[in-house]
Structure 1
């Protein structure tokens, strides 16, 4: 008997680490009529958006807004703070921290990579040792929440070390801003990059670069630019003058962002972070109960996505194809982790309904593939939920 697949792109549950499903209110905002990008109305919208973004970054400094992917934001941060010949210490523990090193090289930086095994945390003592060996380091790059491995790096501890050595810390916060704690001013994170299609809950196309107030003087004194579109000095000069953008912005995406930020603040930032953390605990408990091993180092697991190791008997191709056939899209591994792990996101709108559904279908698929499931992942996740909510029996 043939199986008719009732799921298509419109009703598949999207559980990859970006792009994420967006709220119906955000979809409606995207359909608003376009108005002029040099009008007072659009400038007022941009100003309000920036005010709403600042608490998510934990900063009083400006948040620069670019039309482009998160990588455009990474490029802007590097092109603004790295000049040819500057030494850059890149903390590499995954695909996206590796990308920072690649961007720094294209900017002419003398890159020194501090490589940590993928799936492991970058300990502060490792950074301390590297900075002692390279005292002329100008910029340190890191990824806060490594999307490729499901590891949440200890950004606040690393920032203390970097500050002691007088370097600028540039952080990729693309899958942490809006879903976990990011406290730029309190922790001493100098520059933090984010993207629109992750925890901020809108389609891809906007990038954000938040800069601590103490570094604005550096931007203003920057007389030598090695970028055009991604030179933050261009953005700052027009922003401080008229709260505008130097280039045409993605108007519909800004409509969507404003609506999504309203939703975020209606929920409350603390409530939102705690929801993400609860969903992460449920997901980890569920897959562990099924008999699978988590990829991230214990104690450093991401709260916006979970990476899970495949057992030897299960192939990535079969597992993800069957998940898709049952209406759920999860992500595979990247680079040398292809075929070795799968990744499940729990960001933006994800709540207990989505987590329990993913775990139930994952258990079904594992059984279809002949894996001896250890125990119920759904029950384990529900127990976490009930315990956290104070209703455990």
Structure 2
């Protein structure tokens, strides 16, 4: 009987924190006949998408690079350092900043925390004082390995107050389009297409401060990941190399959808925070433990002994796809995505499926408390 019920559920629900589901309106936009990237038609789309990104981020310039988010991380270390960087490692992606720096021949000073623990601005300051030759500080706004939110505003302010010549590079791949980002002390802000923008992977986004622009206009570094070269081209509404035309068309469709529906960026931020809080309240009502000490709004992360089995049952029986953990968190956590547009009824289904899974595993009886608590904590208007 269970196998027959499963067949009725026509599509799987993708609730992983990237790639996120690509909605129908974006798929339709991307399925149109492809423009050549050196045509006036595509240049218009490119210019509009870039302006919309600048409006979203609030920085003087935004560049789009055909790569994953990791490519943008390498781009920033290539262009904003030559010798020595400081990286904050509170997870797999903070660890990656350090690995990229070493691969590029940089000396890397690293702050290593437990993956549930946010960075401390004072610790950053202390290391800067004993390492006066650090050129660049790299960190995540949201460390998605464990769903952790760093106090990035305090960290960035502390760095610039100590030495305004140090470049501040913030990975916002799982924060851009999810929360309002305070950019006043950030020089390079990294985003990715496959998260809140609900696009396929392959497009990296880099917002740049005035200080960063002054630097790259006078310093040319790297070949493919050369921001000086990209800046000159993208100011002419083209790219140094082949553009990800279909993804950029999809990105512009995302912004057009917001206008069509009368939505502002603040509406997206409010909705994301709202569902994140309500989901975590619902999970805690099931006696599940939220992993990070300071959770980000882009995802909810649960730690426990049975998470591997929970993920398996959710996928096999309910066609719900959650993400597990990586490295030291492998088989110890599951992650529920809140990025992009997620209808309330889908979250409700996932929470019911989790509660039923716990009953299947004889952990607790189903009583519908997850959905009750979820909707008690949802505020439908701001």
How far apart, CA to CA, are the structure 2 residues paired with 1:55 and 1:183? 13
Give the corresponding residue for 1:6: 7
How far apart in 2 are the matches of 1:323 and 1:38?
46
Residues 1-393 of structure 1: matches in 2 within 5 Å?
3-4=3-4, 5-6=6-7, 11-59=11-59, 61-83=60-82, 86-166=83-163, 167-184=166-183, 186=184, 188-223=185-220, 225=221, 227-240=222-235, 242-265=236-259, 266-297=262-293, 300-310=294-304, 312=305, 314-316=306-308, 318-325=309-316, 326-372=318-364, 376-385=369-378, 388-389=379-380
Is the contact between residue 15 and residue 344 of structure 1 (CA under 8 Å) also seen in structure 2? yes
Q: Check whether the contact 1:95–1:334 (CA below 8 A) recurs between aligned residues.
A: yes
Whether the aligned pair in 2 keeps the contact of 1:72 and 1:207 (CA below 8 Å) is yes
8 Å CA contact retained: 1:22, 1:349: no
Deviation of residue 327 (structure 1)?
A: 1.3
Query: Residues 162-201 of structure 1, C-alpha deviation per residue, up to 9 Å, x if partnerless?
Result: 10232111010001001111131x3x11101100000112
SS at match of 2:132: coil
Provide the TM-score with structure 2 as the length reference: 0.94
Q: Distance in 2 between matches of 1:244 and 1:118?
A: 40
Q: Deviations over 1:272-310 (max 9, x none)?
A: 00000001011100100000110010xx21101011012
Q: What TM-score results when the alignment is normalised by the length of structure 1? A: 0.91
Distance 1:98 1:231 in 2: 23
Give the drift of 1:373: 5.4
Shift of 1:332: 0.2
Deviation at 1:390, TM superposition (A): 7.8
Kindly indicate whether the alpha-carbon contact (under 8 Å) linking 1:307 and 1:341 is maintained by their aligned counterparts in 2.
Answer: yes
Distance 1:189 1:7 in 2: 49
Provide the rounded CA distance (Å) in 1 between the counterparts of 2:345 and 2:154.
35
CA distance in 2, matches of 1:373, 1:100: 44
Structure 2 distance, partners of 1:110, 1:261, is: 40
Length, aligned pairs only:
375
How far off is 1:134 after superposition? Answer: 1.6
After superposition, the CA RMSD in angstroms is 1.8
Instruction: Detail structure 1 runs of 4+ shifted over 6 Å in the superposition.
Output: none
Q: Which runs of 5+ in 2 are unaligned?
A: none
Give how far 1:58 is off: 2.4
Structure 2 contact 87–111 (Cα < 8 Å) conserved: yes
